[in-house]
């Protein structure tokens, strides 16, 4: 499906996501077929290779309704409880306007400006800088941000982050990612189950004796069949490994291009590409959520968990995302940015307030200020300044006029 602009890219990604999800369902059936191959090879060791392939296909047809029902049940559970599962992992808690008026108002203004339904708002008590959106329908949509993000970003940058997450909701990315994670979880679960069962085979239950007797009694059959059972076992293990690997690659393919679209959607909502760029620069390498699983990190604005040679990274790098915003949205890249807490530290990790600043011409301890104060001290005192201590009272000089800056009611100059 060709893409010529932002909206066609969105439609193209949705179409490809549906295709990829359909392939993920096929991975479940592939896992079942691999399991049938293992079962046939371990239960009967004297047949040729084609027998095992045909027998496993018959087993797959018999197990197909159960595999489909099991996967559907898994999805049904996740449909109703995925938000609770994610919140349990990350510690997210719902907040109201009274609890977070700043964040609530920013999100509400964005929703009103585009006629979007207001999602639920959640907060994670964490120093990490990150955010994510979840939900499978309008009643479930929610946007979650960390307290570290609220403390480190200004209003424009937080608005850009919220626009990014709202774009994920608008584009249908959230539904696709949740479903992909769920189905990939099914594949991973069965892959691990099969590998554990095969690893433990021969040590638990009655399989050890039956396998030993089968091995001893059918050596001649194995030789005559050319070692077909061993070949079948190897094929089954390869199919399981490929199914698991492909499910992981499909999950990654669903997320990488969507981040570019979500960044562009945020700029479309806020009309402020610089805010999105500066938010990404501040979040860069500071988004790790302690205790969060890899599946949850894939939903986040930034996933600092990089894969081998960037092959398994679920998000594009911040550099590439910023470069796209500079090229296509006209933003300006300030480069890596320190957080406000980091910016307040001096060269020796001392607070900046304790670092002596350069004195200006109006400061009393500078040469220019000393000369000015000496000249004012030699001037005759005015009526307004009689009885004042030059060291602690108001500056000496000519009488104050009606438009000058007289002392305020609390003795301070306005």
- Burial class of residue 108 (count of CB atoms within 10 Å of its CB; 0-12, 13-18, 19+): middle
Q: What's the gap between Cα 286 and its chain centre?
A: 11
How many angstroms separate the CA atoms of 255 and 17, rounded? 10
Residue 345 CB: number of other CB atoms within 10 A? 13
SS (HEC) of the chain = CCCCCHHHHHHHHHHHHHHHHHHHHHHHHHHHHHHHHHHHHHHCCCCCHHHHHHHHHHHHHHHHHHHHHHHHHHHHHHHHHHHHHHHHHHCCEECCCCCCHHHHHHHHHHHHHHCCCCCEEEEECCCCCCEEEECCCCCCCEEEEEHHHHHHCCHHHHHHHHHHHHHHHHCCHHHHHHHHHHHHHHHHHHHHHHHHHHHHCCCCCCHHHHHHHHHHHCHHHHHHCCCHHHHHHHHHHHHHHHHHHHHHHHHHHHHHHHHHHHHHHHHHHHCCHHHHHHHHHHHCCCCCCCCCCHHHHCCECCCCCCCHHHCCCCCCCHHHHHHHHHHHHCCCCCCCCCCHHHHCECCCCCEHHHCCCCCCCCCCCCHHHHHHHHHHHHCCCCHHHCCCCCCCCCCCCCCCCCCCCCECCCCCEC
List, by residue number, the catalytic residues: 165
């Amino acid at each position: 499906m060709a893409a010529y602009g932002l909206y066609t890219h969105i439609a193209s990604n949705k179409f490809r996501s549906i295709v990829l999800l359909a392939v993920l369902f096929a991975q479940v059936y592939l896992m079942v077929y691999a399991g049938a191959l293992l079962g046939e090879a371990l239960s009967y060791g004297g047949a040729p290779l084609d027998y095992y392939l045909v027998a496993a296909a018959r087993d797959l047809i018999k197990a197909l309704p159960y595999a489909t029902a099991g996967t559907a049940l898994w999805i049904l559970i996740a449909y109703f409880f995925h938000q609770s599962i994610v919140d349990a992992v990350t510690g997210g808690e719902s907040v109201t306007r009274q609890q977070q008026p700043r964040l609530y108002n920013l999100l509400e203004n964005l929703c009103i400006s585009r006629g979007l339904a207001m999602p639920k708002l959640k907060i994670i008590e964490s120093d990490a800088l990150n955010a994510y959106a979840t939900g499978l329908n309008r009643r479930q949509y929610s946007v979650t941000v960390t307290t570290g993000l609220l403390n480190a970003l200004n209003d424009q940058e937080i608005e850009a982050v919220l626009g990014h997450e709202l774009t994920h909701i608008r584009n249908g990315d959230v539904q696709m990612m949740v479903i992909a994670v769920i189905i990939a979880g099914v594949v991973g679960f069965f892959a691990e189950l099969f590998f554990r069962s095969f690893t433990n085979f021969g040590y638990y239950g009655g399989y050890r004796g039956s396998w030993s007797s089968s091995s001893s009694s059918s050596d001649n059959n194995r030789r005559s069949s050319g070692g077909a059972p061993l070949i079948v076992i190897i094929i089954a293990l390869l199919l399981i490994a490929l199914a698991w690997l492909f499910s992981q690659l499909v999950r990654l393919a669903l997320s990488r291009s969507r981040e570019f679209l979500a960044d562009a959607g945020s700029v479309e909502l806020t009309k402020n590409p610089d805010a999105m760029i500066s938010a990404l620069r501040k979040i860069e390498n500071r988004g790790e959520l302690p205790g969060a699983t890899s599946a949850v990190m894939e939903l986040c604005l930034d996933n600092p968990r990089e894969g081998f040679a960037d092959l398994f990274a679920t998000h594009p790098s911040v550099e590439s995302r910023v470069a796209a915003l500079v090229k296509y949205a006209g933003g300006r890249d300030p480069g890596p940015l320190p957080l406000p807490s980091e910016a307040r530290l001096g060269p020796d990790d001392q607070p900046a307030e304790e670092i002596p600043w350069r004195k200006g011409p109006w400061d009393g301890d500078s040469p220019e200020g000393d000369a000015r104060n000496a000249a004012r001290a030699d001037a005759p005192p005015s009526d307004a300044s009689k009885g004042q201590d030059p060291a602690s009272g108001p500056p000496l000089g000519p009488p104050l006029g009606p438009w000058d800056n007289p002392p305020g009611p609390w003795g301070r100059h306005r």
